[in-house]
């Protein structure tokens, strides 16, 4: 029979338990990981070190400066990606992002706070230049992880975000009109022909230099870890160029466009969202970090899973491999990092910022491009 506690014993036991709880890591992190320090680092897709603010700082530079000055890691990362979202010259994210097939800019974003085990996201939101801020507001102010479409916009309006009628810029509208001209939507094509015509028109514009290749699939993912090992991440995008209205890609989906485990690390993606959605590869990559893999090896396993799951002939090249690109940006809680890509490319780069400053680093490729 269990020993009964008198009031004095109960009070003393409660006080001891409270003292023990006070020694536990804030937000419930594992004590072992809290004991060891991490090397602070911010990683991002390549556009994380191109767009600049009024102080000539890029996304990764702002995020690293804020994070290492004591700011919350997620707040720092969101402030960094805001630079890209608000840059009218970057047509892959936020204001001036690539519109859908009806010429309307619809945006997706997701953020995850590792220490707090919290997340928020928005999909197909219109009229808000910086959807990452709305995604974080979903995390901070609701019991939900994802709001979409008109509901996401109404939520943003209720919180005081400015809602604009049109997020197109002269650049995004000009490229959209060129795409419309090439696809000739006045003809009644079969669905297969219509999809193929739209894709080929877009890829031709890439080949002619009208659209940068990374902007055609464009997104920005940015992940960071501070000296205390606090890991966070954010992904934001205008999605696939000229997508079907209402299409939501991998970017706002937990485990696909972004996944963070506060104890082990983070992974985020750019590239063909549908391939990543089917494989939930960011979750797989972070699970591989949990199993002890290095960031590079974990990322390669994610790419291999996408390769294995790509079996439709229309998605394969002449060598039987995926006919599209996918990149992952990975950090672990120790500050080790990697950037991996489905295909090796001399131009493939991702952004890194450490105590030594910011730079663009080559992505490690899983495969060689056909005829390379």
State the catalytic residue, choosing from 58, 219, 270, 310: 219
Strand partners, 109: 122, 236
| Non-local CB neighbours of 318 within 8 Å, separated by 6+ positions | 370
Q: Do 49 and 67 meet the contact criterion of CB atoms below 8 Å apart?
A: no
Cα-Cα end-to-end distance for the chain: 76
Q: Do 94 and 107 meet the contact criterion of CB atoms below 8 Å apart?
A: yes
Q: What is the pLDDT of residue 183?
A: 78
Angle formed at CA 141 by CA 136 and CA 147, multiple of 5 degrees: 65
> Domains in the chain, please, with CATH?
42-367 (3.60.20.30)
CA dihedral 60→63→66→69, nearest 10 degrees, is -70
**Which burial class, exposed, middle or buried, applies to 136 when counting CB atoms under 10 A from its CB (0-12, 13-18, 19+)?**
buried
Q: Do 93 and 114 meet the contact criterion of CB atoms below 8 Å apart?
A: no
CA pair distance 117, 238, nearest whole angstrom? 26
Q: What is the pLDDT of residue 32?
A: 40
CA pair distance 372, 363, nearest whole angstrom? 16
* Tens-level pLDDT at each residue, the chain (372 residues): 344 444 334 333 344 333 433 333 444 444 344 445 899 999 999 999 999 999 999 999 999 999 999 999 999 999 999 999 999 999 889 999 999 999 999 999 999 999 999 999 999 999 999 999 999 999 999 999 999 999 999 999 999 999 999 999 999 999 888 888 887 655 445 556 555 666 667 667 666 766 666 555 569 999 999 999 999 999 999 998 889 999 999 999 999 999 999 999 999 999 999 999 999 999 999 999 999 999 999 999 999 999 999 999 989 999 999 999 999 999 999 999 999 999 999 889 999 999 999 999 999 999 998 875
Q: Of 364, 360, 333, nearest to 223 (Cα)?
A: 333
**Which burial class, exposed, middle or buried, applies to 140 when counting CB atoms under 10 A from its CB (0-12, 13-18, 19+)?**
middle
Count other C-beta atoms under 10 Å from residue 340's C-beta: 27
Taking CA atoms, 367 is separated from 135, 300, 334, in Å, by 34, 10, 28
Q: What is the pLDDT of residue 197?
A: 66
Helical pair 295-309 and 281-290, crossing angle rounded to 10 deg: 140
pTM of the model: 0.85
Whether 23 is a known active-site residue: answer: no
| Non-local CB neighbours of 30 within 8 Å, separated by 6+ positions | 263
Count other C-beta atoms under 10 Å from residue 307's C-beta: 17
């Amino acid at each position: 029979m269990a020993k009964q506690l008198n009031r004095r014993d109960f009070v003393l036991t409660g006080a001891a338990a409270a003292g023990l709880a006070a020694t536990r890591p804030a937000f419930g992190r594992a004590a072992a990981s809290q004991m060891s320090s991490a090397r602070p680092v911010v990683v991002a897709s390549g556009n994380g070190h191109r767009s600049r603010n009024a102080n000539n700082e890029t996304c990764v530079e702002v995020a690293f400066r804020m994070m290492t000055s004591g700011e919350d890691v997620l707040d720092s990362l969101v402030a960094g990606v805001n630079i890209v979202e608000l840059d009218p010259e970057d047509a892959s994210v936020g204001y001036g992002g690539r519109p859908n097939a009806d010429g309307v800019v619809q945006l997706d974003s997701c953020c995850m706070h590792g220490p707090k085990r919290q997340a928020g996201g928005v999909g197909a939101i219109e009229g808000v230049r910086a959807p990452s801020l709305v995604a974080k507001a979903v995390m901070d102010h609701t019991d939900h992880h994802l709001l979409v479409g008109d509901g996401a916009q109404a939520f943003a309006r209720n919180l005081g975000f400015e809602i604009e009628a049109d997020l197109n810029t002269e650049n995004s509208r000009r490229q959209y009109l060129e795409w419309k001209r090439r696809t000739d939507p006045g003809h009644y094509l079969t669905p297969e022909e219509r999809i193929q015509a739209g894709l080929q028109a877009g890829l031709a514009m890439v080949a002619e230099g009208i659209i940068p290749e990374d902007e055609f699939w464009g997104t920005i993912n940015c992940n960071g870890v501070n000296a205390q090992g606090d890991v966070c991440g954010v992904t934001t995008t205008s999605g696939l160029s000229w997508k079907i209205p209402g299409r939501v890609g991998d970017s706002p989906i937990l485990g696909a466009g972004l996944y963070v485990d506060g104890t082990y690390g983070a992974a985020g993606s750019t590239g063909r969202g549908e391939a990543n959605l089917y494989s939930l590869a960011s979750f797989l990559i972070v699970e591989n970090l949990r199993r002890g893999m290095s960031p590079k090896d974990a990322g390669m396993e994610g790419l291999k899973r996408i390769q294995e799951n790509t079996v439709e002939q229309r998605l394969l090249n002449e060598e039987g491999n995926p006919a599209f690109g996918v990149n992952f940006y990975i950090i672990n809680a120790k500050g080790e990092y990697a950037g991996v890509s489905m295909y090796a490319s001399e131009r493939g780069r991702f952004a890194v910022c450490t105590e030594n400053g910011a730079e663009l680093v080559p992505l490690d490729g899983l495969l060689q491009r056909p005829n390379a």
